[in-house]
Amino acid sequence: MEQLAEQPARTNGELIQALETMGNSLRIHSIVATSEAGSGHPTSCMSAADLTAAVFFHAMRYDVANPKNPVNDRFVLSKGHAAPLLYAAWAEAGAFPVERLKTLREFTSDLEGHPTPRLPWVEVATGSLGQGLSCGVGMALNSKYLDKSGSNVFVLMGDGENAEGAVWEAAEIASYYKLDNLIGIVDVNGLGQSQRTMYGHDTEVYRRRYEAFGWHAVSIDGHNISEIIAALDEAMSVSGKPAVIVAATKKGKGVSFIEDKDGWHGKALKKGEELDRALAELQPKVATPDGLEDGLKMKSPEGRSTNPITIDGGVDKSKASEFKIGDKIATREAYGDALARLGDENPLVVALDGDTKNSTYSEKFLKAHDGRFFELFIAEQNMVGAAVGLGSMGKIPFASTFACFLTRAYDHIRMAAVSQANLKLCGSHAGVSIGEDGPSQMALEDLAMMRAIIGSTVLYPSDAVSAEHAVRLAAEHQGIVYIRTSRPKTPVIYSSDEKFEIGRAKIIRQSGADKVTVVTSGVTLFEALAAYDQLKAEGIAIRVIDLFSVKPIDEATLRASGSETNNLIITVEDHAAWGGIGDAVASAVTAAGIRVHQLAVREVPRSGKPEELLAAYGIDSASIVSKVKSLLS
């Protein structure tokens, strides 16, 4: 597709006329598309139509033919249920034919019910409300501090979603990093899904809140094109802080029988009388004004320059650390070392942390690459959303915190999968082995929740060498990767030249006389090895497997080992008994007639010494020995 020509110079009055016309065209497209689909949110589109028209055809600079152009401005529709409006704007910009809007919500169409990156002009998936601003923060961090492209990021939000805490996590971080290239727009139409919103059309409430968070904030009439243009121009001229435009609008604007009326959320106009009445009110407003027959076009980003970070030849694997067998190193510390070294080799790698960097050891990356490290503080939702935004701009983001705190960000992680995001997460301090800090700090659900994410990869290293490989594998793999690290120091058991792969397990101990296979990872691998030694002294041989790749799982190795050991597998994990290693192994082998017996945490734990807790919850070496003997008796 050829780049659209710069729109012709116009007087301010002509521009206002043209944008008013475009706003009504976007309304018509939105109601026609949703009526054709028989579902959707036309009234939510109609309130934001004038705002969107002005952003697209006055403020944004965008190479429509090249949506990944690094100097493009970016537009995030956080109120994703207004997707038909977004599609209409891109169609009018020339991204695809207007006729395609009638394929809205069809199975074979990229114009889905809420935006996803299946459509090339969409950067991140939205629709779970309150997430768009976080993604915009990540994009703005990239533009301002990494690519230094001068690009702006526009995020259109609904007033209802401003009740979400994630919005304010993003707002405070945007202010902290002085993201003057981030422009928020709040569509205050006063109507939620089931009732009036918290503050109705009181734009001043929202304006004062953003101002209190350190934003440049203005309130306008969101249907007055002159005010919208002036506010956008002002926002783009602000220096040293983000800007937000709080716009009073009306849901269903332009159609008298649905405008500002409750009960129309998520309701398409019926084909026939309803649609015809609406079009009769809107169509007279889209006649081309005199002298404006050329129509509106997006501004080109020509003239902007950037030096986007690139890397040739992939990740250099030659700089792996030299570890000595028997050295005791926590996998969380090895993660930090590996991440810092990876940053030396790959300038696309960036790191984020939730004020735990001295415990996750991501501080090692900060010390080596402070320009590519972003402290996101105790706001895990925004940390993950910002990482998704950075990933959409071509970076390889590693976001780290205690594994238990990632549960707060789970919806953002779920939406990252819909975004087809390139996202790397590291959760440290997993399981009861953290000891005295107690159950509030013990992640016992993280493997289950990350396994459930469609397309995710889950790696659980047991020693420093496998942790190093987990980091490198994560960077090389496109998609969501979760690395689970542990607090206790564990001995190095692998040589530095050991090879690891996603989807492959490691058989650590085996013989032709093995009676049972024990499958585990992390700290409990060393409990399994201790059990192996004790049972061997008693004349009982068992096989020990380090699972390493929890997802995808090494089904072939597990089935082969299980069939060679009396169709018996014992799984041991410092995790809850539901959804973790035990269930992963069972799903891989039970169809082959192999029985799986799970040793896992089955109650809310308490504080104590790590060795006490492993014993108390039945996942230590003594518990493994006891289970093996009971199965063989």
Q: Which residues are the active-site residues?
A: 380
CB 71, CB 305: distance < 8 Å: yes
Could you write out the DSSP letters of every residue in 438-478?
-GGG-BSSHHHHHHTSTT-EEE---SHHHHHHHHHHHHHSS
Rounded to 5°, the CA angle 18-23-103 comes to: 125
289 token code pair:
């004004």
Question: Which residues, 6 or more positions from 526, have their beta carbon under 8 angstroms from its beta carbon?
Answer: 462, 490, 491
d(CA 342, CA 475): 9
Burial readout 82-110 (b: 16 or more C-beta within 10 A, e: otherwise): bbbbbbbbbbbbbbbeeebbebbbeeebb
450 token code pair:
């990350």
Q: What is the DSSP letter of 61?
A: B
Could you write out the DSSP letters of every residue in 346-369?
-TTEEEEESS-HHHH-THHHHHH-
Is residue 117 reached through a cis peptide bond, with omega within 30 degrees of 0 on the bond before it? Answer: no
Residue with tokens 């970070």: 309
CA dihedral of 166, 309, 71, 216, whole degrees rounded to 10: 40
Phi, then psi, of 397 in degrees rounded to 5: -85, 130
d(CA 311, CA 227): 45
* Helical (H) or strand (E) element with 98: none
CB-count exposure of residue 321 (10 Å: 0-12, 13-18, 19+): middle
